[in-house]
Structure 1
Amino acid sequence: MKIGILTWYSACNYGARAHSYALRKTVESLGHECIMVAFRPVNEKHVNIRANAAINHIYLHPHRLIKAYSRCQIFEKQISMNPVSSQVYSGADIDKLGLDLLILGSDEIFNIAHPTFDPIYYGVGVENTPIITYAPSSGQYDVNQNLPEDMKRSLERIRALSARDQHTVAFIYNNIRRKAEIVADPTILYDFDLEYVEPRWSKYLLIYAFDSWNEYKDQITKYAHDQELAILSLGQHRSWVDVNYDLATVPEWLGAFKYADCVITDSFHGTVFAAKYHKPFCLLGRSDKLNKINDFLTDSGIDRAYYSSDIALSEYFSKIIDFDDVDKNLKYLKERSVKYLKDAIAGVR
């Protein structure tokens, strides 16, 4: 079958690039041709630059603006990680691609409050192409909010429904009274054994976080000093770290996680990759990421609190994660998720 994936494949965000690549590779491993559907939101460039600048009033900080633009250019050059369809602007354009199946997901494409949201991510306007979902999320969007009627109708005609977190399951059910199946984020399905680049640094504490978390810099620097670790900031510039790796490519991003001694993150995918690579990690609580991180912790069997400055980082890291147990839980989740995907694809033949 020829299968298209509709997601944020072109977002200037490491997690978005990783999950779109992983889902495509997983679909191909099941014996299908797979491409990214080239829908790009009209405000995508603006949102990408603002997100990568990671600061308010970016035009008052030209150095941050230039760095954000440079990072987005690096991401743009890596679009070729996935085969991509011709450009589409509507559901009708998707119907013209000649796909046997369209997959919606993964990531927060069901989050109506997201700045790059478009009704097309619910399949609106796609009339002749069968649709399934794989691990979409509605983020922190209120589960009791009613969807517009065109989005409800699109959800109702989807052949197989899945979601990445319980919040999204509840959101879908409250709107169309259908139960979506919980599946793993695509990055859990794929191992990235051949895609990473080994970093030129060793013995380092890795920070991968969307917020600055400057309020914790004293605790972080003390812990790193005590452990004789350098501090490496990945994807964002921080003036108080030893190494700023803020223009990393996706393979370099993967390698930074694989070779880190420990990880500090407020990111869902930062948490996933720390667990995949068996890295002790410290969670910083960012409100827009809590639902999906909490569900991942539950599914993987990780008992981890969000960090508070009330305790030293040495005490926080002293609580050991049983990664053998985590691997067993993720293996079960992966097998169940691949079965869903295989059965959902077979169901439209």
Structure 2
Amino acid sequence: TRHPLRLLNNIRKKRSYLRAIATLPIGVNIESAEHLNALDYDCVVFGSDEIWNICNPFSAGDLTFFGAGMGEGPKISYAPSLGSTSLDDPRLASLSPLLAGFEAISVRDENSLAIVESLTGRRPDLVVDPVLLSKPDRPIKSAKTAGAIGAYLMDPSKHDVQRVCQFAAEAGKDLCSIGYHYSWAARNIAFCDPADVPGLLAGCDLVVTNTFHGVVFSLKNRLPFIIVSHPSKDQKINTFRRRLGLSTVTGEIEE
């Protein structure tokens, strides 16, 4: 591989996620619509987050996430998102009959709301991310988070890295990257238990993020935070900007 260190980091991160998943009360592992039908559930709930994002390589093309191949039982959704999918994407037309089979649909952002309404003629409910329904997290203080700016950034551009590093330098604080390992961060906590991410961010003085959940964690725990734009996440984050007036409580890193 061209990037052995990156590969090693990804392996370590995957192991930390698998350990966390093993602690969850998960029932039957369902791998197909046929298997699901055989279990004869009273209702199937679809959600959450980007299972409906047809631009996301992890879910794109799998119509099972829209109920394809499933029986006649009730189908409802809670807080899925079409993510970076745009309203004029020609692939959306094939989803219309599938979504029409849902008894109730709720989504987490205004872009998804507009798309579902366009495809079905029904206006779905706009609901919050499930994270916001839970209690605030206990801050996890450590030598790495203390006094630092918590960086929760997914694939930031070189330009954004330069801006964030300059911002931290001018503030006289170290950057502590949480959940991702970056060589430009003075401190890294990349291989933590996923459940500890909100608490680790809460242990920092400030959060800089370009992710939807970075914003969610910050709002839930009442943390000061700065949003860095990201092309695949802005559609969801913009709902927070408009609905909560985030421009009045968040900062911007100047160009």
- Alignment TM class, shorter chain as reference: 0.7 to 0.9
| Distance (Å, rounded) in 1 between the aligned partners of 2:63 and 2:251 | 34
Contact 1:105 1:135 in 2 (8 A): yes
Q: In the alignment, which of 140, 147, 151 is matched to residue 92 of structure 2?
A: 147
Report SS of the residue matched to 1:121: helix
Report what 1:101 is aligned to. Answer: 43
Q: Does 1:272 align with 2:216?
A: yes
Report what 1:130 is aligned to. Answer: 74
Task: Map residues 84-233 of structure 1 onto 2, 5 A cutoff.
Answer: 84-117=26-59, 118-144=62-88, 145-147=90-92, 149=94, 151-191=95-135, 193=137, 198-201=140-143, 202-217=146-161, 220-221=164-165, 223-225=167-169, 227-233=171-177
Following superposition, the deviation at residue 65 of structure 1 comes to: 0.7
Cα-to-partner distance string for 1:20-58 (whole Å, 9 max, x where unaligned): xxxxxxxxxxxxxxxxxxxxxxxxxxxxxxxxxxxxxxx
Q: In the alignment, which of 272, 275, 299 is matched to residue 243 of structure 2?
A: 299
Letter in 2 for 1:132: I
Q: 1:174 to 1:203 in 2, by over 3 A?
A: same
Q: 1:218 to 1:130 in 2, by over 3 A?
A: closer
Report SS of the residue matched to 1:116: coil
Letter in 1 for 2:178: L
Following superposition, the deviation at residue 171 of structure 1 comes to: 1.1
User: Aligned residues, how many?
Assistant: 249
Contact 2:16 2:194 in 1 (8 A): no
Letter in 2 for 1:295: T
| Distance (Å, rounded) in 1 between the aligned partners of 2:101 and 2:121 | 13
Following superposition, the deviation at residue 106 of structure 1 comes to: 1.2
Tell me the TM-score normalized by structure 2.
0.87
| Distance (Å, rounded) in 2 between the aligned partners of 1:108 and 1:294 | 15
Flag structure 1 segments of 5+ consecutive residues without an equivalent: 1-58, 311-349
Q: 1:161 to 1:260 in 2, by over 3 A?
A: same
Following superposition, the deviation at residue 235 of structure 1 comes to: 1.6
Report what 2:19 is aligned to. Answer: 77
Report what 1:47 is aligned to. Answer: none
Report SS of the residue matched to 1:288: coil
Identity %: 27
Flag structure 2 segments of 5+ consecutive residues without an equivalent: none
Contact 2:167 2:253 in 1 (8 A): no
Following superposition, the deviation at residue 98 of structure 1 comes to: 3.8
| Distance (Å, rounded) in 1 between the aligned partners of 2:10 and 2:165 | 25
Contact 2:208 2:225 in 1 (8 A): yes
Cα-to-partner distance string for 1:230-279 (whole Å, 9 max, x where unaligned): 32111222223221111111232121122211011100100111122222
| Distance (Å, rounded) in 1 between the aligned partners of 2:55 and 2:167 | 38
Contact 1:206 1:257 in 2 (8 A): yes
Contact 1:284 1:306 in 2 (8 A): no
Contact 1:257 1:277 in 2 (8 A): no
| Distance (Å, rounded) in 1 between the aligned partners of 2:121 and 2:161 | 46
Following superposition, the deviation at residue 285 of structure 1 comes to: 0.7
Q: 1:197 to 1:141 in 2, by over 3 A?
A: same
Report SS of the residue matched to 1:109: helix
RMSD: 2.3
Task: Map residues 34-53 of structure 1 onto 2, 5 A cutoff.
Answer: none
Q: 1:306 to 1:120 in 2, by over 3 A?
A: farther
Contact 2:178 2:201 in 1 (8 A): no
Contact 2:116 2:122 in 1 (8 A): yes
Contact 1:197 1:252 in 2 (8 A): no
Report SS of the residue matched to 1:96: helix
| Distance (Å, rounded) in 1 between the aligned partners of 2:147 and 2:253 | 25
